[in-house]
Amino acid sequence: MNAFQQIYPAIQHKACFFHFTKNLFKRVVEAGLQNRYNNERGFAHQTLHNITDGALEQILLSVERTYFGQMQNGVRSIPRYPPEKWNLHERVRNSEPRSNNGIEAYNNQLVRKVVEARPNIWHWIRIIKEEISLSVHKVDEFQAGQPAKRRRSNYRIMDDRLRETILRYNQIPLELFIRNIANHLRLDTFF
């Protein structure tokens, strides 16, 4: 991501929420907490401050260093992935995608068109020309008033509810806001 940003500095760079949460879960697994959750009776019902073996601190330090920047002499270091890259607040407010699924779907579609393990340059040029033609056609359709493909209704409803919660950020207590967001994200995993 950082190399891409150096080459294309004018483009707005955003991280994928799915990959962000996947990385957080990986840290939980590496710290042994998933194993304890699955195998130790009562562990799942402990509050965070009762986990005293250092595993939680290890995760929090790693997350702080990677996503917020570590405090050193009262100043935060520059994190590898600063909050503006992964924070979803503005994306949800603006009804923008929370993940890069659309981009990954497009890349998979492009890879399927290549077919050959080592395509020559002429094969690539033909595929790129086809993609440009298809993209121009889609833009023309959109400009002519043809509606864009809509998401399934369950996703639209969930996105609307999450957006309503985000818009109420300053109107409800922080603890309730966090609980509501957690509930929305938990529901998101079932659809």
Model confidence at 190, pLDDT cuts 50, 70, 90, reads: very low
What is this structure's pTM? 0.65
Q: Identify whether 94 is part of a domain.
A: no
Model confidence at 66, pLDDT cuts 50, 70, 90, reads: very high
pLDDT at 189: 54
Q: Is the pLDDT of residue 157 over 80?
A: yes
In the block, residue with structure tokens 């529901």: 187
Q: Identify whether 82 is part of a domain.
A: yes
Q: Are residues 115 and 83 in the same domain?
A: no
Q: Identify whether 95 is part of a domain.
A: no
Q: Is the pLDDT of residue 95 over 60?
A: yes
Over residues 50-61, mean pLDDT: 82
pLDDT at 143: 92
